[in-house]
Chain A
Amino acid sequence: MLAALRTVIRRDLLLAMRNKSDAANTLLFFVIVSSLFPLGVGPEPALLRTIAPGVVWVAALLASMLALARLFAADYADGTLEQLALAPQPLAAFVAAKILAHWLVSGLPLVLIAPLLGLQFDLSGTALLTLMASLLIGTPVLSLLGAVGAALTLGLRASGVLVPLIVLPLTVPVLVFGAGAVEAASSGLGAQAHLSLLGAFLLISAALSPWAAAVGIRIALE
């Protein structure tokens, strides 16, 4: 079972490495969207410091929504997903493995580049660290919740618009506590409570989302 999961993870990572532009595009989108805000609202450092957590988090949210289209679509089109559903191992485990691989390719780069964007917004050292920590805990939740949306919309014509429409309302708590953690850290309150709640969201969604996504895939394959 573990060997099968390792194979799926290695395969997805290998596919991503052979086609680097997909992952790079998500990252570029994240950087460009975040950089648009100082141009739009004006380069006032005090204002930028206030809006930074929200802006970076919203940009990360949108970037991860864009990346979701790739999660199952190719495997659905070429029949790999059907083979995974027929395999003796539970489909939910394969889905969890695919989500992990997807997060490593599309979520982790966002976490690593976030401090650089934070510098653009003149965030302090603690705020930068908290931003990274909150994204590190929060972006897997986005991938997990998004996987359900991606599974439910497999093979639909309008899936590009539909996925954000159905997933974004569910991600609101992650956004609130993720951005709230950075705000709490920069105002000296400590981000412990926010990060703990984010961790709770991660545990709950890690336990439930792969199953819900697997149900969604089975519905789409019928």
Chain B
Amino acid sequence: MNWFKYSSPATFYPLAGKMAPWFFAAAALSAVPGLYISFFVAPTDFQQGESYRIIFIHVPAAWMSMFIYVVMAFWAGVGLAFNTRLSSMMASALAPTGALMTFIALWTGSLWGKPTWGAWWVWDARLTSELILLFLYFGFMALQAAIDDPRRADKAGAVLALLGVVNVPIIYFSVQWWNTLHQGASVSLTRSPTMAATMLAGMLIMALAFWMYSIAASLLRVRSIILERERAADWVREWREAAR
């Protein structure tokens, strides 16, 4: 089996088109039970009341915001190192979804912060570093948008994405390094979670839904980017004639 068969835009384009609906279906199939558990099955928190239920959106979005940045920086770095066009296109396709996840994490966090902390926003280490992550996504997209030559945009964006990747561990460990308002992680791989099993199940299923959605949305976006960049290529013309 040739592992690099799908590393060319011409072969990846139809593959992404076939995969995207499946990931969308997986996202919907996990979001429905996830939301049901989150809102109807999971018990009410004895301290925070019902408002804690926002974590079922907030925590998966925050996880994805950091994870997508690392994946984006990885693909951008691969594109820079090996000069592969598709890797860079994948990085560009991931950026808007990552920014969306960062924004959702900040937005839901502020909705939760108002009833719980009594403020929409506090200058806590984790909130601030998540905000910087949003700025990094914006910077990456702005830099790529400002450069007309797509290959140069890919490479310049890759350097910036790799520089910004330093911020991700800072966000992740910020609640341990600085003992500020945002609470520590409730879920960890090394010790048992400090929450009820149904709450954990709801959160993990929602995380799966967010993950599937991110993959599906990025695949659709990378298809558009491929078409835009390769519009002069022969295979696009053939594909358009076949589709007609």
Contact = CB atoms under 8 A, between A and B. Distances in A.
Given A169-B135, A172-B132, A219 B143 contact: no
Interface stretch (B14-22, B53-61, B97-105, B154-162): B154-162
A104 B160 CA distance: 26
A216 interface: yes
Interface in A194-222: 212, 215-216, 219-220, 222
Contacts, number: 54
> In the complex, which of the residues B80, B132, B143, B151 has the most CB atoms of chain A within 10 Å of its own CB atom?
B143
B163 A212 contact: yes
Interface of A is mostly: helix
A215 B155 CA distance: 9
A153 B152 contact: no
Main secondary structure of the interface of B (DSSP, over half): helix
A159 B146 CA distance: 8
A182 to B, nearest CB: 17
B164 interface: yes
Interface string B139-170: 11011001100011001100110111001000
Nearest to B133: A169
Contacts of A220: 152, 156
Contacts of A170: 136, 163-164
Interface residues of B, number: 22
Contacts of A158: 146
Contacts of A165: 138-139, 142-143
A95 to B, nearest CB: 13
A152 B156 contact: yes
Contacts of B163: 148, 170, 212
Given A156-B147, A168-B135, A169-B135, A162 B159 contact: no
Contacts of A215: 80, 159
Given A216-B156, A219-B159, A153 B143 contact: yes
A153 B146 contact: yes
Nearest to B138: A165
B159 A216 contact: yes
A133 interface: no
A148 B162 CA distance: 12
B146 A219 contact: no
A152 B159 contact: yes
A158 B139 CA distance: 13
Nearest to A220: B152
A170 B162 CA distance: 12
A170 B159 CA distance: 13
Contacts of A157: 146
B159 A212 contact: yes
A178 to B, nearest CB: 15
Contacts of A219: 152, 155-156, 159
Given A152-B160, A216-B156, A162 B136 contact: no
Given A166-B143, A169-B135, A170-B163, 12 more contacts: A152-B156, A153-B143, A153-B146, A153-B156, A159-B146, A162-B143, A165-B138, A165-B139, A165-B142, A169-B167, A170-B136, A216-B159
Interface of A: 148, 152-153, 156-159, 162, 165-166, 168-170, 172, 212, 215-216, 219-220, 222
Interface of B: 80, 128, 132, 135-136, 138-140, 142-143, 146-147, 151-152, 155-156, 159-160, 162-164, 167
